[in-house]
């Protein structure tokens, strides 16, 4: 069996040069090329100024590569890296990286980052797949139903989900150098997912992620808020460290499922916030139990009570149990928080209880 030739970055650059040369010249470079089975995965580095008008070129490039290298299934992804100008870095954007474009103005070093926001809380988890974003959305909507003015920020740059969960399809406006949050269900919301195509991959390294989070904080016109809820990405990476370093977090809520492996990761998240002097406001046990909609039999699929026990061991508050229900998943997919879509449901009542507890905690925070 004849072994197929694996194209090099230089091979791919020569083939694509004739297609993109007239449109972008030498500003587009083959950043990486790798093989996964039959697939040829190519990442092109594109200046941000060209990214918008080159967004539709990927299918054409894939067709050219398929013709040039028979037997391969090419997949082309564009990643935009903004060319940095020699200008004073904006405090809000985290040292100069401004991947969201030229919004915002340089701030004085001692200027408050969120002057109109009374409290900022992070909804975090040690691992993905525990329902953190769904919890953040319903908590924020529940806090609004408690009479608080609430903002909701999506800090998960690589996997933004808030636009889908809130049913938001519009893009934010820019006024006087500030992004204007979009409003839904009594919330002011902002996510990088509102500015890119839903299927676009955000292939950004740490400094770009940190810069984007800085802009979502400082280059957004949040206005006067009782609380800004930040939906964190899973883990303990750049986003968490960026927010902790900026000193804006008044507290963190940890979301976990009951089983031991999830709780192990939750401990790491709690330890990280402890090391960065961010108080942990409590632990939520998500997917705590499943109640059959037909026979109403309760089944503890992932065990039960693990998060409560962990909260007791770590001496942090236990904030409540959220059941595993199809209604929660369907409401998120439909773009309506469960506390709005089905306020009398078991899941909505659990979220409302969480929101009441958190609202009481917020009122007791220093400076309130």
pLDDT on residue 260? 64
Percent of the chain at pLDDT exceeding 90: 26
Statement: residue 90 has pLDDT above 50:
no
The pLDDT tens digits of the residues spanning 128-141 come to 778 889 999 999 99
pLDDT on residue 281? 92
- Domain assignments of the chain as residue spans, ordered by start: 9-81, 120-364
* Distance separating alpha carbons of residues 363 and 368, to the nearest angstrom: 6
* Distance separating alpha carbons of residues 294 and 305, to the nearest angstrom: 24
Taking 3-state DSSP, the helix, strand and coil percentages for the chain, each rounded to the nearest 5, stand at 40, 20, 40
Q: What is the mean pLDDT of residues 267-272?
A: 80
The pLDDT tens digits of the residues spanning 346-358 come to 999 999 999 999 9
* Distance separating alpha carbons of residues 80 and 85, to the nearest angstrom: 15
* Distance separating alpha carbons of residues 134 and 328, to the nearest angstrom: 8
Place of tokens 């040292």: 95
User: What is the separation of C-alpha 81 from the centre of its chain, rounded to a whole number of angstroms?
Assistant: 19
Alpha carbon of 345 to those of 50, 124, 210, 290: distances in Å?
A: 48, 25, 38, 14
Determine the 3-state secondary structure of 290 from DSSP.
strand
The pLDDT tens digits of the residues spanning 227-266 come to 999 998 876 667 777 777 777 888 999 998 887 666 777 7
pLDDT on residue 355? 95
Q: What is the mean pLDDT of residues 88-104?
A: 50
Specify the higher pLDDT residue, 8 or 365: 8
pLDDT on residue 286? 86
Does residue 139 contact residue 355 with C-beta atoms inside 8 Å?
yes
- Residue 75, token pair as written in the block: 């997949």
Q: Write down the mean pLDDT value for the chain.
A: 78
CB environment 5-27: b (16+ within 10 A), e (fewer): eebeeebbbebbeebbeeebeee
Question: Where does residue 93 rank: exposed (0-12), middle (13-18), buried (19+ CB within 10 A)?
Answer: buried
Specify the higher pLDDT residue, 298 or 255: 255
Residue 120 — pLDDT band, cuts 50, 70, 90?
Answer: very high
- Fold type of domain 9-81: Alpha-Beta Plaits (3.30.70)
pLDDT on residue 350? 93
Alpha carbon of 309 to those of 21, 108, 199, 350: distances in Å?
A: 61, 46, 39, 19
pLDDT on residue 47? 64
pLDDT on residue 121? 94
Statement: residue 307 has pLDDT above 60:
yes
- Fold type of domain 120-364: Rossmann fold (3.40.50)
Residues 6 or more apart from 153 whose CB is under 8 A from it?
Answer: 189, 190, 191, 216, 217, 220, 228, 229, 230, 231
Determine the 3-state secondary structure of 298 from DSSP.
strand
Say if 9-81 and 120-364 have the same CATH topology.
no
pLDDT on residue 194? 85
pTM: predicted TM-score of the whole model, two decimal places: 0.69
């Amino acid at each position: 069996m004849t072994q197929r030739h694996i194209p090099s970055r230089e091979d791919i650059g020569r083939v694509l040069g004739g297609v993109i040369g007239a449109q972008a010249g030498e500003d587009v470079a083959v950043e990486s090329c790798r093989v996964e089975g039959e697939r040829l995965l190519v990442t092109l580095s594109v200046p941000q100024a060209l990214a918008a008008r080159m967004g539709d070129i990927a299918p054409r490039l894939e067709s050219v590569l398929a013709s040039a290298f028979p037997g391969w299934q090419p997949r082309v992804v564009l990643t935009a890296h903004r060319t940095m100008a020699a200008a004073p870095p904006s405090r809000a954007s985290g040292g100069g990286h401004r991947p969201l474009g030229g919004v915002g103005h340089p701030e004085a070093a001692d200027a408050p980052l969120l002057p109109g926001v009374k409290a900022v809380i992070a909804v975090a988890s040690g691992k993905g797949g525990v329902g953190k974003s769904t919890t953040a959305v319903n908590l924020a909507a529940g806090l609004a139903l408690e009479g608080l003015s609430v903002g909701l920020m999506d800090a998960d740059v690589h996997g933004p989900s808030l636009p889908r969960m809130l049913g938001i399809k519009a893009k934010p406006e820019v006024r006087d150098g500030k992004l204007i949050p979009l409003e839904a269900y009594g919330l002011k919301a902002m996510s990088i997912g509102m500015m890119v195509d839903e299927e676009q991959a955000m292939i950004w390294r740490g400094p770009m992620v940190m810069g984007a989070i800085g802009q979502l904080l400082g280059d957004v016109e949040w206005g006067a808020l009782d609380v800004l809820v930040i939906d964190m990405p899973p883990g303990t990476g750049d986003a968490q460290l960026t927010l902790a370093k900026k000193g804006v977090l008044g507290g963190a809520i940890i979301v976990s499922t009951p089983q031991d492996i999830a709780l192990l990761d939750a401990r790491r998240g709690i330890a990280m916030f402890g090391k960065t002097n961010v108080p942990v406001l409590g632990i939520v046990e998500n997917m705590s139990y499943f109640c059959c909609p037909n026979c109403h039999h309760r089944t503890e699929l992932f065990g039960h009570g693990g998060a409560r026990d962990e909260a007791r061991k770590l001496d942090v508050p236990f904030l409540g149990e959220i059941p595993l229900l199809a209604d929660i998943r369907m409401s998120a997919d439909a773009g309506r928080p469960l506390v709005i879509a089905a306020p009398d449901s078991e899941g909505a009542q659990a979220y409302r209880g969480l929101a009441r507890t958190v609202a009481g905690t917020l009122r007791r925070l220093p400076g309130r």
